[in-house]
Amino acid sequence: MTNILLVEDDKRLSSLVADFLTEQGFKVTCLFDGSTLQQQIERNPPDILILDVMLPGQDGFSLCRTIRSSYAGPLLFMTARDDNFDQVLGLELGADDYVIKPVEPRVLLARIHALLRRVKSTASKKDHRQMSFGQLLINSASRQVTLASKQIALTSHEFDLLWMLAENASQVVDRNKIYDELIGRPYDGLDRSADVRISRLRKKLFDNQQNPYRIKTIWGKGFFFVPDAWD
């Protein structure tokens, strides 16, 4: 049974969401603030974490910063603020997706299933290869990345994106492919999720954000992994 950890301070909404997801066959654990979130994740890591942004005490953004070093699983922000800046910030902090409250239950369910399909698809490949480019080593068995002998901490989604780019080194990876296979929904022409994830990868892999030379953007097409830029 898939275990969902829901952090939502509105107890009525939390109960409604938990009841709906339980009816869909999920096991749901509810927290009403983030004070015990780290301990809960360490004790029983969830298959998916649903995190409200506006919480008493530490808000969702701060909690995401804190737990992302120890939790690499799917993280879905649930926010009442329909603000592009907040959505982009959430993705930059390591969220895999976000929904705007009030959210239609079927929409939330679809987003959850999309994240689970991506995780299942990655696991089912059982790809135990590793790839190396100069000082960059990507190991799909351990899902670890090292650059210049330093381990780079990536979320599950960031690792999958890097692996896809590296598998297609010296080729343009179409933006639609990233949305279909990794994000789990078609690209609508406006969604910036892929761009934010690429930006996070560049930052973690010490690429030049203003003039990238390791992971390039090919405008109107997608992204290009440069194989000889890792020495």
pLDDT (tens digit per residue) in 148-172: 999 998 888 889 999 999 999 999 9
Number of neighbours of residue 114 by Cβ within 10 angstroms = 17
Report yes or no on 130 lying in a domain. Answer: yes
Domain end call among 123, 152, 176: 123
Together in a domain, 7 and 100: yes
Residue 57, SS3?
coil
Identify the pLDDT of residue 130: 86
When pLDDT is averaged across residues 81-104 and rounded to a whole number, the result is 80
CATH of the domain at 76: 3.40.50.2300
- pLDDT at position 103, please? 86
112 and 7 assigned to the same domain: yes
Other CB atoms within 10 Å distance of the CB of residue 174: 15
Instruction: Report how many helices (DSSP H) and strands (DSSP E) the chain contains, helices first.
Output: 8, 12
**pLDDT-derived band of residue 126, with 50, 70 and 90 as boundaries?**
very low
Q: How confident is the model at residue 121 (pLDDT cuts 50, 70, 90)?
A: low
Domain that includes residue 161, residue range: 126-225
Whether residues 119 and 131 fall in one domain: no
113 and 133 both lie in a single domain = no
Statement to judge: residues 214 and 130 lie in one domain:
yes
Domain count of the chain? Answer: 2
As a whole number of Å, the end-to-end CA separation of the chain is 44
Closest C-alpha to 163, from 221, 207, 123, 219: 123
> pTM of the prediction?
0.65
Whether 124 shows a pLDDT value over 70: the answer reads: no
16 and 67: one domain? yes
The CATH number assigned to the domain holding 214 equals: 1.10.10.10
Task: Say yes or no to pLDDT of 95 above 70.
Answer: yes
Q: Dihedrals φ, ψ of 216, to 5°?
A: -95, 150
Clarify whether residues 9 and 102 are in a common domain: yes
CA distances to 94, 128, 162 from 68, rounded to whole Å, are 7, 24, 18
Q: Is residue 82 helix, strand or coil?
A: coil
Distance from C-alpha of 156 to C-alpha of 94, rounded to nearest angstrom: 10
pLDDT tens across 33-70, in order?
Answer: 999 999 999 899 999 999 999 999 999 999 998 898 78
**CB of 107 closer than 8 Å to CB of 97:** no
Which of 97, 123, 149 lies at the terminal end of a domain, its last residue? 123
User: Are 68 and 151 in the same domain?
Assistant: no
> Does any domain span residue 230?
no
Same domain, yes or no: 135 and 205:
yes
Confidence at 80, pLDDT banded by 50, 70, 90: confident
